[in-house]
Amino acid sequence: MSDAPLLRLRALEQVFDTKKGPVAAVGGVDLEVKAGKVLCLVGESGCGKTTTARAAAGITRPTAGAVEFRGKSLTDMTPGEKTAYRRAVQYIHQDPYAALNPTRTVASTLTAGLKRHGLVKNRTEARAKAAELLTLVDLTPPESYLDSYPHQLSGGQRQRVNVARSLAMNPELLICDESTSMLDVSIRVSLLNTLGRLRDDLDVGFLFITHDLAVAKYFAWDGEIAVMYLGKVVEHGPTPEVIGNPQHPYTKALIGAVCEPDPDLARANRSSEQLRSAEIPSLTDLPAGCAFHPRCPAFEPGVCDSTEPALEGTGAAGGRRRVACHIVARDQRRESVQHAQSRDDRTLVLDPNKSPGAAWSA
């Protein structure tokens, strides 16, 4: 594997023209996916996760910025390189019911790409390969699935067929767009385990999109999480860091919203800061300054609504941690100043043991 990351999104922007005016679905996203690693994109509905994924998969052409595969921008690729990229990067749709052609059998769906790209010589070989793929995604015994039609399969089985189809191309990168969100919880984990095996055994890189932090935590523990809000990455870092020690107020809100089966823990979580508003601003009319400020519990007039915060490294986790928040950045500057000037009487340090709200209101 070369040093260049498998996939790099460089200042990716996607603006859609609508009747209500231009909609900046993605406004400048910089991310990387490495081979055998997982990058999880989390965020609420409409924050641009899927749009980012679709641009990364080459389904849509970004309005600005670049998608680079192995250091080569999609727009600069020769047709041959483009074909290689098409094969190496596979996309798994959210809806397992819509992503399979209802008129084709599982075998026919799985072998179409194999035949087209000359990966198999004849029908027998194609069927054997299809059976192998089905075994790989735990649809065993394969011969009881090969001649089935999608409507004869359950949701989980269909999604496995979708995964198998993308694996037929020997992908290096799988882009999963909420691929587990339509599945039953019981099936979700087994599919995640299947995907995890591909990641570990076949060194497949993942751009994994989800709105479910539990899934992100489970699947991307060794990888990274990028939290998106209204088209921008607001926090990015290694998964244990982001989940265990969230910095951005939005990440904190997301983590606070995860359902907790333990009532005591749930009560403890509830005491943490509440959002000021549940309403998501319209993408056609983004708030000035930080897009999150109308909802942010740490909002400070004059700071947050004037300029847009940049996604800056916090210095934690070997510089792999990035947060886009004026308040966090200011607190950190003060923290370093404090360290330099021994003590100040006001505690402005973000202490994970204290209530974050107390620190912010100081």
Partner 1 sequence: MTTTLDPALNAAITKPRKHFRESFLGRLWTGLTRSPAGFAGTVLVLAIVLFSFVGPLVIDQHNPTDTTQIWTSPSAEHWLGTQYEGKDTFTILVNSGAQPIWVGTLAALMATFVAVTLGSVAGYFRGRIDAVLLQLTDVTVTIPQFLLMLAVVAFFEDIPPWGISIVVGSTMWAFLFRSIRAQVMSLKEREFVEAARLQNLGASRIVFREILPNMAGFIFVNFVISVNQAIYAIVGLYVLGLMPSGTPNWGLMIHQSWSQNFYLNPVALPFVVTPLIMIVLFTIGLVTMGRGLDQALNPRLRER
Is 43 near partner 1 (CB under 8 A)? no
Is 120 near partner 1 (CB under 8 A)? no
Nearest-approach distance from CB 198 to partner 1, in angstroms: 9
Contacts of 104 (CB under 8 A, 6+ apart): 112, 149, 150
Residue closer to partner 1 (CB basis): 101 or 336? 101
Among the residue ranges 111-119, 222-230, 302-310, 313-321, the one whose residues contact partner 1 (CB under 8 A): 111-119
Rounded to whole angstroms, the Cα distance separating 157 from 154 reads 5
When binding is defined by CB under 8 A, the residue of 2, 3, 17, 102 that contacts partner 1 is: 102
Contacts of 282 (CB under 8 A, 6+ apart): none
Instruction: Give the contact letters, 129-168, x = binds to partner 1 (CB under 8 A), - = no.
Output: --xx--xx----xxx--xx-x-x----------x--x-xx
Nearest-approach distance from CB 145 to partner 1, in angstroms: 10
Residue closer to partner 1 (CB basis): 116 or 343? 116
Rounded to whole angstroms, the Cα distance separating 67 from 171 reads 17
Instruction: Give the contact letters, 60-89, x = binds to partner 1 (CB under 8 A), - = no.
Output: -----------------------x--xx--
Is 335 near partner 1 (CB under 8 A)? no
Whether residue 273 contacts residue 299, with contact meaning beta carbons closer than 8 Å, is answered with no
Residue closer to partner 1 (CB basis): 182 or 304? 182
Among the residue ranges 108-116, 252-260, 296-304, 312-320, the one whose residues contact partner 1 (CB under 8 A): 108-116
Nearest-approach distance from CB 60 to partner 1, in angstroms: 11
Rounded to whole angstroms, the Cα distance separating 255 from 183 reads 22
Residue closer to partner 1 (CB basis): 138 or 300? 138
Q: Where are the beta strands (DSSP E) in the chain?
A: 7-18, 21-33, 38-42, 64-69, 72-73, 89-92, 173-177, 205-210, 224-229, 232-238, 312-313, 322-323
Nearest-approach distance from CB 128 to partner 1, in angstroms: 6
Whether residue 176 contacts residue 209, with contact meaning beta carbons closer than 8 Å, is answered with yes
When binding is defined by CB under 8 A, the residue of 25, 29, 99, 254 that contacts partner 1 is: 99
Is 193 near partner 1 (CB under 8 A)? no
Among the residue ranges 98-106, 207-215, 265-273, 341-349, the one whose residues contact partner 1 (CB under 8 A): 98-106
Is 288 near partner 1 (CB under 8 A)? no
Whether residue 291 contacts residue 277, with contact meaning beta carbons closer than 8 Å, is answered with no
Q: What is the largest CA-CA distance in the chain?
A: 78
| Pairing assessment for the beta strands 89-92 and 173-177 based on DSSP bridges | parallel
The 3 state secondary structure assigned to 81-121 is HHHHHHHHEEEECCCCCCCCCCCCCHHHHHHHHHHHCCCCC
Whether residue 67 contacts residue 56, with contact meaning beta carbons closer than 8 Å, is answered with yes
C-alpha dist (Å) from residue 184 to 3, 18, 155, 180, 188? 38, 35, 8, 8, 6
Instruction: Give the contact letters, 199-218, x = binds to partner 1 (CB under 8 A), - = no.
Output: ---x----------------
Is 197 near partner 1 (CB under 8 A)? no
Is 336 near partner 1 (CB under 8 A)? no
Q: Which residues bind partner 1 (CB under 8 A)?
A: 57, 59, 83, 86-87, 90-91, 93, 95, 98-105, 107, 112-113, 116-117, 124, 127-128, 131-132, 135-136, 141-143, 146-147, 149, 151, 162, 165, 167-170, 202
